[in-house]
Amino acid sequence: MPDLSPVERDFLKKITAIVTENIGNDQFGVSELAREAGMSRSNLLRKIKKLTNLSVSLFIRQIRLEKAMELLKEGSLTVSEVAFQVGFSSTSYFGKCFHDHYGYPPGEQGNQEEVTQQEPPEEAPPVRKSGWMLAVGAVLILALLVMLFNPFEAKNKELEKSIAVLPFKNESNDSTNIYLINGLMESILNNLQKIENLRVVSRTSVEKYRHSSKSIPEIAEELGVSYFIEGSGQKIGDQILLSVQLIEAPSDKHVWSEQYQRETSDIFNLQLDVAKSITQEIEVIITPEEQKRISKPPTDNLEAYDYFLKGLDEFHQGTREGLELAIPLFKQAVEHDPKFARAYADLAIAYYMLDAYQAEKNYVDEINAYADKAMFYDDQLSQSLLAKAFFYINTGEYELAIPYLEKALEYSPNSAFVINTLSDFYTSYYPNTGKYLEYALKGIQIDVGGNDSTTTSFILLHLSNAFIQSGFVAEAEKYINQSLAYAPGNLYSVYVKAYIQYAKNGNLPQLKTDLLAALEQDSTRFDILQEVAKSCYYLRDYESAYTYYRRFLDLKKALNLDVYRFENAKIAVVMDKMGFAEEAAELMQDYKAYAEQDPSIYRPLSLAVYYAWQDDRARALQYLEEFAREDNFHYWTILFLDKDPLVDSIKELPEFRKLFRQMEQKFWNNHQQLKRSLEAKDLL
């Protein structure tokens, strides 16, 4: 340590002595060293990093390994005994760390000494360098320069700041404690998702690896991340034992590990300490605002938190039954802590999910009440903001949901739940093709690799749909084919592919044939029935359209669903053509009511279509002109509007043709702008 001042040398000697005194204690880690040294954890981390260029955990490990080398050289102990004496509870992990540090396994220590004790060979006489040797030397120098300056090949290149938290293992004898271990993992993941400068793979993407035998490099390739967190834990009485490791993914190199033994009352500090250690090890920049949000405990009531974690475990089952089991547990949590914002937020979200797509909204009051309480107690919690946004989505006040959704993303920029909610919002509720595609692309970066094949298929379907709506036909076809490769039985992907093929060839009869092939695989799918009926409608085969629309309406009524109101005008045309005038009038009036209340950019287009059918050409063209000033409308508008029987009364008018050409030109101009924007953000 020649460059250190006397004071700095003394400091390192003191710290080394403390570690050495506790070297056999496998529970002695960063927090314990800071306490023994009389320093804060953060000051210790900064000082050790400055003086040794090592993290504190690596500094401790190095002292353990140096002591292990001394013991191995003495030759009186086995490798397992040495590992135990220097504080490694796992012999295999000790062997890996020893090999990483010294370049050979601990069992070969004796052999290495024999090699170093051999006489060095006599120095060979100098050899005159020939031209070919000089050439080889030049090649080696060139290779070295490439290694040094090529950012893609250099061995010591800086890894991307991306991480996945693998499912933690429950080592408790009581299997019912799994919810607690899952909760620890979830909380650590949730803290990391709040850091903008770190790409964090979603919980669903890593769940597949809970019982996987794949190696870290194999999983890394599938997920596209640079670091992994592995963990295992158990609860014994009032004690939580947690082991956490940070692994450099491409090399499977252990960067940091820590073993914690804490009281259950210290669970929040435990979660915080783990997140801090990880970000410090991979040198992620955390803003003061992010630090403040990460440091805030969800509750100070352990009973409330216990109920919440049990509810969260049910919530993540992703089923209606799971939601119904989660709700009373969340209610128990807020009974024990009436200020528990996260529990209020998840109550609102669970009720929203129970109400979604139902014709009758049964939980509007519950969603609003719990969302307001969540916002009151923590308005910087992404779940609170999502809860309030879901209330407005549930009541159809979509524009009011936008600021809450955007703020939720600001506070949790790596949350797959937030990003995928935004993606769905901008296609299903408040259509905007540019934002739909942007969020779909962001979502796939953190929520695709490693999912089960069905989930992956749906994520790729979502992305394909986003691409086709913005006119990216080749990209849409690429991802829909990948979606079907993962799950050939995904009928959503089957019929979206049919529409992508139509975008390529404009062949309406082929579209009908492809959609019928999808319906043959499941004749009860009301969504596919509607698509088949619509293809017949565009072909002006009203008799066939009626057959499929009638089956669609019967299923929709039986399932009590409030969906596809925007298609009622087409169904009304078919009913009218088939002689059901009264039913046609009811459907058209419902369509008009829907169009007048539609807050999206499509409101004027919907009204233009309505008035064209009423043969009110002036009002139809007026609304169409208003729509032609809009941006970010989807590709289907261009592909189908001039083929729609609803606009037969105006589509040959010069005014219509002019407006339609303007819309086409605007669409492709926006397409090019979107392409440049996504390329600039490295999303395309």
Q: What is the domain partition of the chain in residue ranges?
A: 6-110, 162-297, 598-684
- Cα separation, 213 vs 209, in Å, equals 8
Least confident of 105-109, 463-467, 565-569: 105-109
Q: Rank 175-189, 554-568, 655-669 by mean pLDDT and report only the highest.
A: 655-669
Examine the pLDDT at 78 and tell me if it is beyond 60. yes
The model's confidence at residue 391, banded by pLDDT at 50, 70 and 90, is very high
pLDDT of residue 450: 47
User: Mean pLDDT, to the nearest integer, of 606-626?
Assistant: 96
Q: Report CA torsion sign: 50, 53, 59, 65.
A: negative
- Cα separation, 399 vs 520, in Å, equals 39
User: Mean pLDDT, to the nearest integer, of 71-92?
Assistant: 80
User: Mean pLDDT, to the nearest integer, of 147-154?
Assistant: 32
pLDDT of residue 150: 35
User: Mean pLDDT, to the nearest integer, of 99-108?
Assistant: 80
Least confident of 28-32, 87-91, 613-617, 622-626: 87-91
pLDDT of residue 639: 95
Residue percentage of the chain with pLDDT more than 70? 88
pLDDT of residue 603: 94
The model's confidence at residue 573, banded by pLDDT at 50, 70 and 90, is very high
- Own/partner contacts of 205-212, CB < 8 Å, gap of 24 or more, are 205/164, 205/416, 205/446, 205/447, 205/448, 205/449, 205/450, 205/451, 206/164, 206/165, 206/166, 206/167, 206/450, 207/167, 207/450, 207/451, 208/450, 208/451, 208/452, 209/166, 209/167, 209/450, 210/166, 210/167
Examine the pLDDT at 553 and tell me if it is beyond 60. yes
Three-state DSSP class for 577? Answer: helix
DSSP string for 183-247? HHHHHHHHHHTT-TTSEE--HHHHHGGGG----HHHHHHHHT-SEEEEEEEEEETTEEEEEEEEE
pLDDT of residue 42: 63
User: Mean pLDDT, to the nearest integer, of 594-623?
Assistant: 94
- Cα separation, 389 vs 406, in Å, equals 10
User: Mean pLDDT, to the nearest integer, of 554-579?
Assistant: 90
Three-state DSSP class for 387? Answer: helix
The model's confidence at residue 357, banded by pLDDT at 50, 70 and 90, is confident
- Cα separation, 163 vs 222, in Å, equals 13
Question: What does pLDDT average to over the chain?
Answer: 83
Tokens matching residue 612: 């064209």
pLDDT of residue 544: 96
Least confident of 361-375, 417-431, 611-625: 417-431
For residue 412, which amino acid is it?
S
The residue among 71, 81, 74 whose CA lies nearest residue 20 is 71
User: Mean pLDDT, to the nearest integer, of 107-120?
Assistant: 55
Examine the pLDDT at 399 and tell me if it is beyond 70. yes
Three-state DSSP class for 335? Answer: helix
- The length of the chain in residues reads 684
558: alpha, beta or left, given left = phi > 0 and alpha = psi -120 to 50? alpha
pLDDT of residue 111: 59
Q: Which residues contact 471 (CB under 8 A, 6 or more apart)?
A: 635, 667, 668, 671
pLDDT of residue 160: 66
Give the residue with greater pLDDT, 526 vs 328: 328
Least confident of 106-115, 188-197, 527-536: 106-115
Three-state DSSP class for 358? Answer: strand
Give the residue with greater pLDDT, 364 vs 220: 364
Give the residue with greater pLDDT, 618 vs 213: 618
User: Mean pLDDT, to the nearest integer, of 267-283?
Assistant: 79
Least confident of 191-195, 504-508, 597-601: 191-195
Q: How many other β-carbons are positioned within 10 Å of the β-carbon of residue 261?
A: 15
The model's confidence at residue 128, banded by pLDDT at 50, 70 and 90, is very low
Which CATH code fits 6-110? 1.10.10.60
Examine the pLDDT at 154 and tell me if it is beyond 90. no
Examine the pLDDT at 29 and tell me if it is beyond 80. no
User: Mean pLDDT, to the nearest integer, of 120-138?
Assistant: 38
Q: How many other β-carbons are positioned within 10 Å of the β-carbon of residue 129?
A: 10
Question: Looking at domain 162-297, which CATH architecture does it have?
Answer: 3-Layer(aba) Sandwich (3.40)
The model's confidence at residue 136, banded by pLDDT at 50, 70 and 90, is very low
pLDDT of residue 455: 64
Tokens matching residue 567: 């298609």
The model's confidence at residue 93, banded by pLDDT at 50, 70 and 90, is low
CB 485 within 8 A of CB 497: no
- Cα 77 to Cα 71, 82, 107, 388, distances in angstroms: 7, 6, 11, 63
Residue percentage of the chain with pLDDT more than 90? 39
Q: Report CA torsion sign: 353, 355, 359, 365.
A: negative
User: Mean pLDDT, to the nearest integer, of 441-446?
Assistant: 77
